[in-house]
Amino acid sequence: MGAPSGEIIVTGGLGFIGSHLVDAYLAAGHRVTIIDSNAGAVIDGEDYDADPRCTVVRQRVEDYLAAGGDFTGADRVIHAASYVGPASILSRAGRLGHDIIGSTAPVIDACIGAGAPLCMFSSAEVYGRSGVLDEKDDILVPTQYNTRIEYAIAKTLAEAMVSNSRQHGLRGVVIRPFNVAGARQSRAGGFVMPTFVQQALAEKPITVFAGGEQVRAFIAASDLTGFIIDYMDAALDGDDIIINVGNPANAITVMELAHRVKDLLGSPSPVVSVDGRSVHGPHYAEAESFHKIPALRAATGLGWQPRIALDELILSTAEYYRAREDRRAVNAPL
């Protein structure tokens, strides 16, 4: 199932998902080039600098390509570079479309030029509605254009670009991840799992937004990377360009998650309801997909299954943050 060792390019490879992919590819015997502007980095990359199999290019991928860089010799390109997280994207309001398309278009062109297969990360935010969400379902675009909607529209357009670029020789697939979590994920982005875990470890109040009735299905980063490493070739040869990757067995309300984290970690932290805007500012908004559960028709059709259960995911995240600080959120209050 996994591809033979080769040359891998990971944009955003110092970020949460990107760094897990880099680690998995290195462990599988590949050489990896990371292209990362450091905008969303969760690690400094010094260990990668010291690894002769890994090259770190610290600039935006669009700048790298504009300056004459290319993807010649790449066996695959994983485009994971993006602003992510309901809090992190707020500072880019009005620019997110430019950010996302401005990096995706040159990546597509470079992949076509080099004959390199592309895996692009989109977002489950594109669905714009609640429910069990299938890749074949129509996408709903709400008309209140808050920053999350701008992000979702831009990701949708990037998906269409990948799909339509197949007419020009691109071999590409798009991954829609559902609530990836695990070690290294930063609460600075507004992500709920590392926020709850770090609050519980610090014995601070666990802050739940919007009543906590949101339903999320958390998938471990290792399960996501397992799909990319072992099933990307099959996905490229299959009929589905858009592929959900998630773990519906881990579906839980955010309020239930807060109490699960508290109980598993034996924390005295109280669970409290707060207005997200009081934490992240007046432009913060909840996702349109209040209940967000993936249908896994395409991914499981290739033979993949998620493995990591919710409690194991919570405990592994806590183990990571017991031993180290949250690099991106070190100066942010809990």
The CATH number linked to 125 is: 3.40.50.720
Same domain as 201, residue 132: no
Same domain as 197, residue 105: no
* Predicted local distance difference test score (pLDDT) of residue 3: 46
Residues 6+ apart with CB under 8 A from 118: 76, 77, 79, 107, 108, 111, 162, 170, 171, 172, 173
Query: Residue 279: inside a domain, yes or no?
Result: yes
Give the confidence band of 5 by pLDDT, cuts at 50, 70, 90. Answer: low
pLDDT digits (tens, 9 = 90+) for 57-97: 999 999 999 999 999 999 999 999 998 899 889 999 999 99
Q: Of 247, 265, 295, which closes a domain?
A: 247
Query: Residue 310: inside a domain, yes or no?
Result: yes
Give the confidence band of 333 by pLDDT, cuts at 50, 70, 90. Answer: confident
Do 207 and 274 contact (CB within 8 A), yes or no?
yes
Same domain as 157, residue 144: yes
Same domain as 90, residue 231: yes
Residue closest to 198 by CA, chosen among 215, 181, 213, 211:
181
Helix (H) or strand (E) holding 310, with range, is helix 310-323
- Mean pLDDT within 275-284: 90
Same domain as 141, residue 13: yes
b/e code 259-283 from CB counts within 10 Å (16+ = b) = bbbbebbebebebeeeebeeebeee
Same domain as 158, residue 48: yes
Query: Residue 1: inside a domain, yes or no?
Result: no
Q: Which domain holds residue 266?
A: 182-216+249-329
Query: Residue 164: inside a domain, yes or no?
Result: yes
Helix (H) or strand (E) holding 263, with range, is helix 254-264
φ/ψ of 251, rounded to 5, equals -65, 135
Same domain as 66, residue 20: yes
Overall number of domains in the chain: 2
What tokens does 75 get? Answer: 């066996």
- Number of C-beta neighbours around residue 333 at 10 A: 6
Give the confidence band of 160 by pLDDT, cuts at 50, 70, 90. Answer: very high
Mean pLDDT score of the chain, rounded to an integer? 95
Give the confidence band of 144 by pLDDT, cuts at 50, 70, 90. Answer: confident
User: Exposed, middle or buried by CB within 10 Å (0-12, 13-18, 19+), for 319?
Assistant: exposed
* Rounded-to-integer distance, Cα 328 and Cα 126, Å: 26
Q: Lowest-confidence range among 126-135, 136-145, 210-219?
A: 136-145
Residues 6+ apart with CB under 8 A from 61: 11, 35, 37, 79, 81, 103, 106, 107
Same domain as 232, residue 91: yes
Relative orientation angle of helices 221-237 and 16-27, to the nearest 10 degrees: 70
* Predicted local distance difference test score (pLDDT) of residue 175: 98
List % helix, strand, coil for the chain (3-state, nearest 5).
Answer: 45, 15, 40
Query: Residue 225: inside a domain, yes or no?
Result: yes
Query: Residue 2: inside a domain, yes or no?
Result: no
pLDDT digits (tens, 9 = 90+) for 18-44: 999 999 999 999 999 999 999 889 999
b/e code 161-186 from CB counts within 10 Å (16+ = b) = bbeebeeeebbbbbbbbbbbbbbbbb
